[in-house]
């Protein structure tokens, strides 16, 4: 079930051996396709998020420029690239050594198993290669009609809103038997218009997630904003792709941990020659190294799975039901925090950079879960359309403030799409704030109401005003 | 594979277009800063541009906290290498931190410069061109080899003839060319100018020229080089510094050397003249001397020596002589007054005074605006 269209015979044999070993160990995956590419091509594919084809956008060009420069100067190199799809597609860099290829293959089978079996991936589109291709075609068609610049402007606007979706919606939909990505109405009317037929009368089949209050801002816009059909279609594409990528944000630690756990186990249980062990150990420890003050998802993930195995958990069940946040809730205990030397840090109020704040495992655990919940992104709820027709967004504050100035730029793009002002309620240093974007630009005002709306029961922790250190 | 890369080229080109657009908008800024100096490799210049960021919702100023891993007591600094980056959840997302270098061809940068400063192209002097024979298929004739047959022209003639003969049948639109219809591409030779130029950068490095004055000269010289490089195929650059005596130095020394003592401008002019007579003969080279100083000369007698050197020897042999006077705390600026008084009527002498970085653009426009 592994396909190796352009691999040399030696690698083909290794791919087969890796697959046999993975299956024997109990991993379960869609067909895996390994494709061998050179580093430059891999950088291009990586800039497209792993897909052979995406719609035209300068952002992919910029990402490529960055990856390619990094690679040319020897600063960075992509080892593995695998995409959630049926068949699962993975790339092997031609210049890697045989040991590295074996490592990547075993690692890929770990990811492939995770994609197929983890609950958060269950609602994702599994024919994403074709879907991306279709998106590219649709945008090409729209560009031909509306002009490249128009489409680019809308895309740039919409992409900032990518984070305004509800990570929990797909699972809820899947449970209730409805699927999330059938935004058929907009598409049908768009296609009708393209073919010169009258648009179907707007009998609303509400888009899942578009009833207030909602976290799925994009769905609400698609449904209710005064947009041209083609604009709706562009937003649908952006939303579909955002939902596709969301589970990868939510399970970064688990996914990398699971893949590393299995590459390590499979390689040291027969896939490696004795002479390759030292090189492997070097490579593996490089991938799982952690700087003080940094968390490496590969390292944290693999340790969590090892810890679970020691405690007698069914690790296959764990990889099925959890996301990063709930996984940590389930597994991090005093022993784990101690052994892995976990700590929380904050900026030293006297200056001089961050310092270790606490080694109390409960504090560490809480903070870790906080930072990973909601895919690591700010939780923004669309609460209502107020009496003046303005959108009211509420930032569910978890102790971390937003960069309000940038949030202002973002909601002004939102206001543009909505065609009326947009308010965002948030907290800044414990003070309630309302950011408003409208025709007159962006303004920030103090707002008592926001304290209650955003903070809810958890009062925001008081923190010294401190510039955050830059990377 | 490879087709990904092909596809990528379009997105990359679009990104580079956007960057160029910004570069064009910011050219004024680059014209008065040292940012681009030393970024030239061959015929490209790498220009640092900040990554273009779309606004996002990000966690802000109290994000200097999180969870880490490693040894140390509570209260101990999280060392690691602060330069290395942030902890989990805080991936370096500060806008402006990511700097990308974009390679731009010299021609392209020169084109932007020309658009900004409205510079005319240089018309190389007629007798100073080395001509090489070039050719292009720009003509037509009615005989020639098959491989050069001009299909469209041939077909058109055949079609016209078929219609004229009344043999045209739209249901069976067959057109058969006969020998008379055939037209062939013909190669026309055209002389391709291949011209060479030499730039003399002469600078006063006497005590009165300070660091800032030299920076101004550096920036000026960079843009002048960029422009002339875009205009001539072969460019040589000669750097001459002088106080009371002149010497040839390399570019590194040129910009960093600091001498003291008096100033005898004629020493530099004599050295340049010597090179013109012996090495860069005016019948083969387009010659561009640039002289930068703060305008103080040793004596009035040396100044009049300079003027006669220029009038009798240098100006007749060069395309244009440019004098840039950089304002310094000590310079009197007398030299420019003298030059303008004696030689102001010559169309080969251009002088400009630069009081600070903001005036670099104007001085370049004055120097290069004549197109000769």
Angstrom distance (rounded) from CA A78 to CA A92? 10
State residue B39's pLDDT score: 73
State residue B118's pLDDT score: 79
pLDDT per residue as tens digits for the range A368-384: 998 898 888 899 999 99
Give yes or no for a cis peptide into B31 (omega within 30° of 0): no
Angstrom distance (rounded) from CA A91 to CA A84? 13
State residue A81's pLDDT score: 94
**Residues A152/B18, Cβ–Cβ less than 8 Å:** no
pLDDT per residue as tens digits for the range A163-209: 899 999 988 887 775 544 445 555 665 666 666 666 554 444 556 66
Please check whether residues B240 and B340 belong to one and the same domain.
yes
Residue in A40, A297, A403 nearest the CB of B60: A403
Length of chain A equals 471
Structure tokens at B296: 């103080």
Chain B residues close to A47, C-beta within 8 Å: 8, 11
The answer to the question of residue B67 being in a domain is: no
Say if B2 is an interface residue toward chain A (CB within 8 Å): yes
* Residue-wise burial string across B78-107, b where 16 or more C-beta atoms lie within 10 A, e elsewhere: bebebeebbbbbbeebeeeebebebbbebe
Please check whether residues B291 and B337 belong to one and the same domain.
yes
Please check whether residues B233 and B364 belong to one and the same domain.
yes
Count structural domains, chain B. Answer: 3
Among B165-169, B329-333, B343-347, name the one with the lowest average pLDDT: B329-333
Profile chain A (471 residues) by mean pLDDT over runs of 10 residues: 89 96 97 93 93 92 88 82 96 93 97 97 94 94 93 92 91 67 56 62 57 91 93 95 95 96 96 92 89 84 97 96 95 95 84 84 92 89 92 90 90 94 92 92 90 62 38 33
Chain A residues close to B98, C-beta within 8 Å: 66
At A424, give phi and psi (nearest 5°).
-125, 120
The answer to the question of residue B33 being in a domain is: yes
State residue A434's pLDDT score: 94
State residue A400's pLDDT score: 85
The answer to the question of residue B79 being in a domain is: no
pLDDT band at B1 (very low <50, low <70, confident <90, very high): very low
First and final C-alpha spacing in chain A: 44
Among A454-468, B29-43, B218-232, B304-318, name the one with the lowest average pLDDT: A454-468
Please check whether residues B142 and B236 belong to one and the same domain.
no
The answer to the question of residue B291 being in a domain is: yes
Angstrom distance (rounded) from CA B4 to CA B17? 20
The answer to the question of residue B80 being in a domain is: no
Please check whether residues B265 and B354 belong to one and the same domain.
yes
The answer to the question of residue B104 being in a domain is: yes
State residue B22's pLDDT score: 81
Residue in A59, A294, A469 nearest the CB of B69: A294
Residue in A58, A357, A467 nearest the CB of B14: A58
State residue B133's pLDDT score: 58
Angstrom distance (rounded) from CA B332 to CA B330? 6
pLDDT band at B32 (very low <50, low <70, confident <90, very high): confident
3-state SS, chain A, equals CEECCCCCHHHHHHHHHHHHHHHHCCCCCCCEEEEEECHHHHHHHHHCCCCCCCCCCHHHHHHHHHHHHHHHCCCCCCCCEEECCCCEEEEEECCCCHHHHHHHHHHHHHHHHHHHHCHHHCCCCCCHHHHHHHHHHHHHHHHHHHCHHHHHHHHHHHHHHHHCCCCCHHHHHHHCCCCCCCCHHHHHHHHHHHCCCCCCCCCCCCCCCCCCCECCHHHHHHHHCCCCHHHHHHHHHHHHHHHHHHHHHHCHHHHHHHHHHHHHHHHHHHHCCHHHHHHHHHHHHHHCCCCCCCCCHHHHHHHHHHHHHHCCCCHHHHHHHCCHHHHHHHHCCHHHHHHCCEEEEEECCCCCCEEEEECCHHHHHHHHHHHHHHHHCCEEEEEEECCCCCEEEEEECCCCCECHHHHHHHHHHHHHHHCCCEEEEEEECCEEEEEEEECCEEEEEECHHHHHHHHCCCCCCCCCCCCCCCC
Answer yes or no: do B82 and A409 touch at CB < 8 A: no
Mean pLDDT of chain B: 80
Please check whether residues B185 and B229 belong to one and the same domain.
no
Answer yes or no: do A468 and B64 touch at CB < 8 A: yes
Chain B residues close to A290, C-beta within 8 Å: 69-70
Transcribe B277-323 into DSSP letters: HHTS-TTT-EEEEEEEE-S--S-HHHHHHHHHHIIIIIGGGSS-EEE
Please check whether residues B263 and B345 belong to one and the same domain.
yes
Angstrom distance (rounded) from CA A288 to CA A296? 7
State residue A471's pLDDT score: 33
- Among A296, A345, A369, the strongest candidate for a mutation testing the B interface, having the largest count of B CBs within 10 A, is A345
Please check whether residues B360 and B296 belong to one and the same domain.
yes
The answer to the question of residue B25 being in a domain is: yes
Q: Which DSSP letter does residue B83 get? A: G
CATH value at residue B240: 3.40.50.410
pTM over 0.90, yes/no: no
State residue A8's pLDDT score: 93
State residue B102's pLDDT score: 77
Angstrom distance (rounded) from CA B36 to CA B47? 6
Please check whether residues B187 and B204 belong to one and the same domain.
no
Angstrom distance (rounded) from CA A281 to CA A227? 56
Angstrom distance (rounded) from CA B200 to CA B254? 12
State residue B101's pLDDT score: 76
Please check whether residues B200 and B346 belong to one and the same domain.
yes
**Residues B234/B347, Cβ–Cβ less than 8 Å:** no
Please check whether residues B355 and B276 belong to one and the same domain.
yes
Please check whether residues B150 and B94 belong to one and the same domain.
no
Residue in B4, B10, B85 nearest the CB of A294: B85
Chain B residues close to A159, C-beta within 8 Å: 54
State residue A94's pLDDT score: 92
- Domain range for B171 is 131-192
Minimal-distance CA residue of chain A relative to B7: A53
């Amino acid at each position: 079930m592994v396909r190796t269209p352009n691999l040399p015979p030696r690698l083909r044999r290794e791919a087969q051996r890796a697959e046999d070993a993975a299956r024997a160990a109990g991993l379960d995956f869609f067909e895996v396709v390994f494709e061998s590419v050179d580093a430059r091509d891999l950088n291009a594919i990586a800039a497209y998020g792993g897909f052979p084809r995406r719609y035209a956008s300068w952002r992919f060009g910029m990402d490529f420029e960055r990856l390619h420069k990094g690679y040319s100067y020897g600063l960075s190199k992509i080892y593995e690239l695998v995409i959630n799809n049926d068949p699962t597609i993975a790339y092997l860099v031609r210049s890697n050594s045989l040991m590295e290829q074996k490592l990547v293959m075993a690692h890929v089978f770990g990811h492939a198993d995770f994609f197929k079996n983890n609950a958060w991936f269950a609602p994702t589109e599994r024919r994403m290669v074709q879907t991306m291709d279709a998106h590219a075609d649709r945008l090409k068609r729209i560009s031909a009609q509306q002009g490249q610049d128009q489409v680019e402007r809308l895309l740039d606007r919409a992409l900032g809103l990518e984070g305004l979706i509800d990570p929990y919606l797909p699972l809820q939909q899947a449970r209730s038997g409805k699927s999330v990505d059938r935004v058929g109405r907009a598409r049908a009317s768009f296609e009708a218009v393209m073919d010169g037929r009258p648009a179907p009368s707007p009998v609303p089949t509400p888009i899942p997630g578009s009833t207030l209050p909602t976290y799925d801002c994009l769905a609400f816009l698609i449904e209710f904003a005064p947009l041209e059909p083609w604009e709706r279609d562009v937003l649908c594409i952006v939303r579909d792709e955002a939902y596709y990528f969301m589970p990868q944000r939510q399970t970064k630690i688990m996914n990398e941990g699971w893949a590393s756990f299995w590459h390590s186990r499979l390689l040291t249980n027969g896939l490696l020659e004795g002479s390759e062990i030292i090189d492997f150990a070097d490579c593996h420890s490089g991938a799982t190294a952690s700087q003080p003050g940094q968390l490496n998802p590969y390292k944290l993930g693999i340790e969590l799975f090892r810890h679970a195995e020691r405690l007698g958990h069914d690790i296959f069940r764990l990889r099925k039901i959890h996301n990063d946040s709930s996984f940590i809730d389930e597994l991090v205990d005093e022993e784990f925090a101690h052994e892995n030397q976990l700590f929380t840090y904050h900026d030293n109020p006297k200056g001089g950079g961050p310092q270790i704040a606490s080694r109390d495992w409960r504090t560490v655990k809480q903070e870790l879960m906080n930072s990973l919940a909601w895919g690591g992104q700010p939780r923004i709820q669309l609460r209502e359309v107020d009496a003046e027709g303005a959108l009211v967004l509420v930032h569910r504050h978890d102790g971390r403030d937003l960069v309000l100035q940038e949030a202002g730029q973002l909601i002004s793009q939102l206001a543009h799409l909505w065609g009326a002002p947009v308010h965002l309620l948030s907290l800044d240093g414990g003070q309630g704030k309302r950011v408003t974007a409208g025709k007159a630009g962006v303004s920030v005002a103090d707002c008592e109401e926001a304290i209650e709306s955003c903070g809810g029961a958890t009062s925001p922790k008081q923190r010294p005003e401190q510039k955050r250190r830059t990377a | 594979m490879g087709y990904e890369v092909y596809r990528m080229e379009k997105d990359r080109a679009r990104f580079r277009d956007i960057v160029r657009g910004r570069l064009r908008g910011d050219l004024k800024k680059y014209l008065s800063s040292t940012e681009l100096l030393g970024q030239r490799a061959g015929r490209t210049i790498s220009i640092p541009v900040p990554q273009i960021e779309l606004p996002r919702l990000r966690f802000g100023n109290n994000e200097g906290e999180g969870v880490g891993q490693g040894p140390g007591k509570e209260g101990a600094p999280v060392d690691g290498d602060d330069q290395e980056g942030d902890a989990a959840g805080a991936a370096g997302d500060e806008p402006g931190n990511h700097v990308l270098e974009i390679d731009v061809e010299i021609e392209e940068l020169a084109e932007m410069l020309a658009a900004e400063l409205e510079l005319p192209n240089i018309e190389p002097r007629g007798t100073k061109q080395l001509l090489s024979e070039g050719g292009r298929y720009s003509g037509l004739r009615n005989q020639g080899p098959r491989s050069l047959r001009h299909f469209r022209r041939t077909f058109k003639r055949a079609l016209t003839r078929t219609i004229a003969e009344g043999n045209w049948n739209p249901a069976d639109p067959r057109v058969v060319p006969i020998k008379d219809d055939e037209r062939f591409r013909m190669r026309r030779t055209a002389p391709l100018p291949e011209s060479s130029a030499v730039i003399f950068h002469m600078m006063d490095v006497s005590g009165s020229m300070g660091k800032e004055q030299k920076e101004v000269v550096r920036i000026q010289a960079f843009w002048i080089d960029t422009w002339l490089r875009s205009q001539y195929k072969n460019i040589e650059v000669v750097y001459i510094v002088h106080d009371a005596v002149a010497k040839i130095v390399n570019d590194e020394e040129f910009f960093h050397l600091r001498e003291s003592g008096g100033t005898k401008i004629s020493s530099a002019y004599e050295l340049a003249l010597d090179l013109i007579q012996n090495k860069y003969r005016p019948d083969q080279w387009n010659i561009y001397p640039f002289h930068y100083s703060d305008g103080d000369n040793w004596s009035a007698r040396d100044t009049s020596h300079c003027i006669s050197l220029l009038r009798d020897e240098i100006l007749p042999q060069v395309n244009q002589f440019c004098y840039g006077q950089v304002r310094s705390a000590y310079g009197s600026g007398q030299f420019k007054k003298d030059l303008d008084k004696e030689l102001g009527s010559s169309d080969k002498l251009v002088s400009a005074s630069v009081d600070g970085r903001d005036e670099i653009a104007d001085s370049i426009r004055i120097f290069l605006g004549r197109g000769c």
